Structure 1
């Protein structure tokens, strides 16, 4: 007789009084490894948290662990976001705080975090070395948690889970923020732990998955529906593109300089660690760039210089919009001309703001809204809410939205002021495939008006067609700069 590990019957869950899961039934038998995929906002994360006992639901969830297994008899859930605290137990960090020396000194290192996790679960640190090496994380043991990029935080979560090897492991969007090699190595590691007895529930819409995945399901109308691999690979019908709001069709404010970014032998160092080395890069007005590089290559640090967040900009030969940094401009004058979205900005964004407030805050480069924006700005925010299909969420708090809807609201915030320079750092994290295609078409349309673009994306499908130039970082140095004719990205 086949032994079910998870048996769910008539599971019901509501979100803000709206049904998400309705009489859902699901049986996971021993030895099965499932992929849970499909559109953003259908309830995949809610279901995962219910199985892990992290959210309240109605119905029956029975979990039967194998008493003969040497693996921990537990469900271990890895969320898309990693929430950490400083040494004083505080977690209310702000976006620029990762460059603050005092914040670095009051935040635990990766080594301390791993030692604490190992002590909690009775694990020897040396048994994690192979995982750390495979995910390219060995050199970060002395880094503090606040210094890690989003991809590095994702790796830290995955290291813990793979090290623990629970009987049931649930990974929510595990590939977000990972470069190509890290994704390949992660799949190999997942295949290894399933061979040792761990069972997987993988929440993802990515095409490349570990070969151990043998069952696939989606959530439709609150119920779980098993599908075949062929059904998963079928292209979804495209929604008709709405016309771009008229105010975004205008040419951005006249360029004050033909040169948007100029870096000459730029170096960034933290103590003995050099993060950027002799960077030379010039971005001219109207150009469309993609920035590539593996996790830890220096991409986030490079972007922080351009956005005015990194204090070491003043110690380098670095120009923005034709002006040398430190020549009298304020950080807010710089940010007025830039539209930014990044995993880090999303991470630190005020979750208590509503969708509408979050979008309007883009005019002021603030996390949340603290003033009356006036008629014109209100009208433009409303246009974007309609464009992104967020009407029913207009007055919903950001932290009450599914991840994909949060990201759409922040994308609207990024473009609401029709900025001179768009910096899109993995903007499609958390979006489903249709939302990703839709957003990249929007980027292509926006860039027809002369907007300058710097785009970071690991996945080929997440790079818009308008990209014309590519810069590749490797270990903090520029490995290549070239003009490109088509999308052939694999980094």
Structure 2
């Protein structure tokens, strides 16, 4: 029988106590005997490799993931009971939900997948009730407080914007504000700075520090140790579902395992970036030669939920060019990649043409002034073909996969350019899917359900999906989001090998360190307009990308 812990007299009162907690997903142990106490006023960093159990730990503290039913251990919460009363222990997960608010990739994926037509202000106000949608009038006082918080976070301009029209970084910023709006006792943040530009990161980290100064307890899981709020004083290291170290932040950071590529129990192998074989890839090993022009955009205006996101875009991607697209959150980078992927329409008067030099490519022009409706219908019929030749890896695509596929099945969808798997794959396709999972160090994930994978694990599988279809052009929207340092270094090395093997790519990033040397051209956006378009500068530096 597990006994209820009592708070020691010499330390701050506990808020949550994990006692020998075990959590399993699909037969895989995500937490394995975790014992840990979170105390009021403490601010913790949580470190660990992809799949180590960090996100599961945060969900257990919040009460949204429960320990295994048999020998799963116990979580006890101690909700504050007022100045004159001792906290009363609770074992119901509802106590965790009352204590904690959180921001995570899974939460953001839900809003992206559902496409709810909330405004930014409505999204922010749902934080008072911990509900996904707004079901009641919060009152003038709460509305005023929420607007003030948005202003302090630099998000006031998003209050009238619909969620589907927001960039990934804009939505992440508002979800942080949503978590802070009701001034929780505990704030759980899982890779919260991913997808944010330097200005937005500074605003978010400053907001976390401000909350901590007011007494909020913080749990901050991250892979980027150079992007920590100043309030953090303690740290955990999670490996293979176990808490391997805890203590003062500086001490734990000084003893973090080397990021040389050792797996550390993350369920992944180290990608082998030597002598990459690219079966069927255009221009390689007997594949079809790349077209001189892969994509040409002319006079393109793009509207998303009636918001004018892109303005008069003129851009041509030619054979042999690898591009990076940079710009602040909300500048239109993700919309531009979705346009290249055929998921956004050009307004009448503009064009986008893929593979213009191929006489029978079968990919239609979009948004032409003449017969615009017929052209749009033709392009929709050609989307499966287009998606086989122009592949996308992004947070939004990741969010689209609500299906409970295995990792192998997800990779196999790359051959048809579809979200679900509708046709029985042949032996050659299965062999190529296995090849790319192996090349990305994810062969061990082939039979696992994608909803049981960590963000970093799923990102590798999505890249394998993109490559399995032998695309002419690979679109990468913040591809290193959610990857730990060792996985990020191996992933970028792999991209470099692919580029040298003839795979062309367009890369969106906020981080200078994510730019591989093979990037040859730069396009910079600001407020939906191109402010620079041309070869990469001398020395390989890209002004406007922040570390």
TM-score (norm 2): 0.80
What displacement does 1:170 show?
0.6
Asked whether 1:388 is paired with 2:408, we answer no
CA deviation vs aligned residue, 1:287-343 (integer Å, no higher than 9, x gap): 111111111111122112211111226641333222772466522332221121111
Unmatched tracts of structure 2, length 5 or more: 1-9, 84-96, 131-137, 263-269, 358-363, 367-374
Residue 239 (structure 2) aligns with? 220
Q: Which residue of 1 aligns with 2:92?
A: none
Counterpart of 2:121?
111
Would you say 1:358 and 2:410 are equivalent positions? yes
Which of 218, 238, 259 aligns to 1:236? It is 259
Match of 1:486 in 2: 540
**Please, what is the CA RMSD of the aligned residues?**
2.7
User: What residue is the counterpart of 1:82 in the other structure?
Assistant: 107
Counterpart for residue 397 of structure 1: 449
How far residue 119 of structure 1 moved from its aligned partner, in angstroms, is 6.4
Please report the TM-score for the alignment, with normalisation by the length of structure 1.
0.88
Q: CA deviation at 1:199?
A: 0.9
Query: 1:30 aligns to what?
Result: 40
Structure number, greater radius of gyration: 2
Match of 2:201 among 155, 171, 183: 183
1:428 is aligned to 2:462: no
**What secondary structure sits across from 1:396 in the alignment?**
coil
Shift of 1:414: 1.0
Contact 1:131 1:163 in 2 (8 A): yes
- Structure-2 residue corresponding to 1:158: 176
Equivalenced residue count is 474
How many Å apart are 1:48 and its aligned residue? 0.9
Change (3 A) 1:432 1:351: farther
Aligned match of 1:54: 64
466, 486, 497: which is aligned to 1:445?
A: 497
Find the aligned partners of 1:413 and 1:272 in 2 and give their Cα distance.
Answer: 32
Corresponding residue SS for 1:336? helix
Q: Residues of 2 paired with 1:273 and 1:250: CA distance?
A: 37
Q: 2:314 aligns with which of 267, 280, 287?
A: 280
1:452-491 deviation per Cα after TM superposition (whole angstroms, max 9, x unaligned):
2100111223222211221111111112234233245317
Cα distance in structure 2, aligned partners of 1:439 and 1:313: 36
Structure-2 change in CA distance of 1:2 and 1:236 (3 Å): same
Contact residue 407 and residue 461 of structure 2 kept, 8 A: yes
* 1:180 CA drift (Å): 1.4
User: Is 211-220 or 254-263 further displaced after alignment?
Assistant: 254-263
SS state of the match for residue 5, structure 1? strand
Equivalent positions of 1:3-402 (< 5 A) are 3=12, 4-57=14-67, 58-68=72-82, 74-82=99-107, 93=114, 107-118=117-128, 124-206=142-224, 207-224=226-243, 225-226=245-246, 228=251, 230-231=253-254, 235-238=258-261, 241-242=271-272, 243=274, 244-247=276-279, 251=283, 253-255=287-289, 257-269=291-303, 273-312=307-346, 315-322=349-356, 325-326=365-366, 330-402=382-454
In 1, Cα distance between equivalents of 2:306 and 2:388: 34
* Alpha-carbon distance in 2 for matches of 1:338, 1:262: 13
Q: Please report how far the alpha carbon of residue 408 of structure 1 lies from its aligned counterpart in structure 2 after TM superposition.
A: 1.2
Taking a change above 3 Å as real, the CA distance of residues 474 and 199 of structure 1, as seen in their structure-2 partners, is same
Cα separation, 1, equivalents of 2:392 and 2:180: 33
Q: Give, in angstroms, the shift of residue 177 of structure 1.
A: 1.5
Output one character per residue of 1:51-105: Cα deviation in whole Å (capped at 9) or x when no partner. 1111111223233344448xx961122222336889xxxx975xxxx6xxxxxxx
Bigger shift: 282-291 or 140-149?
140-149
- Matched residues in 2 for 1:134 and 1:479: separation? 28
**Any idea what SS the aligned residue of 1:82 has?**
helix
Distance change (3 Å), C-alpha of 1:246 and 1:78:
closer
1:2 to 3, 11, 22: 11
- Aligned 8 A contact 1:118 1:125 in 2: no
Change (3 A) 1:347 1:480: same
Deviations 1:96-122 (A, max 9, x none): xx6xxxxxxx73333333344446788
Show the 5 A alignment for 1:470-485: 470-482=522-534, 483-484=536-537, 485=539
Q: Is the 8 A contact 2:278 2:501 kept in 1?
A: no
> C-alpha distance in 2, partners of 1:437/1:456?
17
Q: Following the alignment from structure 1 to structure 2, what is the Cα–Cα distance between the partners of residues 191 and 85?
A: 27
CA–CA separation in structure 2 for the residues paired with 1:223 and 1:394: 24
Cα distance in 2 for residues equivalent to 1:256 and 1:17 = 44
> For 1:333, what is the secondary structure of its paired residue?
helix
CA 1:92–1:441: 2 relative to 1, 3 Å: closer
Matches of 2:42 and 2:126 in 1, distance apart? 31
Distance 2:453 2:312 in 1: 42
State whether residues 66 and 73 of structure 1, in contact with CA within 8 Å, keep that contact through their aligned partners in structure 2: no
Q: What do the CA deviations read for 1:344-374 (whole angstroms, capped 9, x no partner)? A: 1100124311111110110111112111222
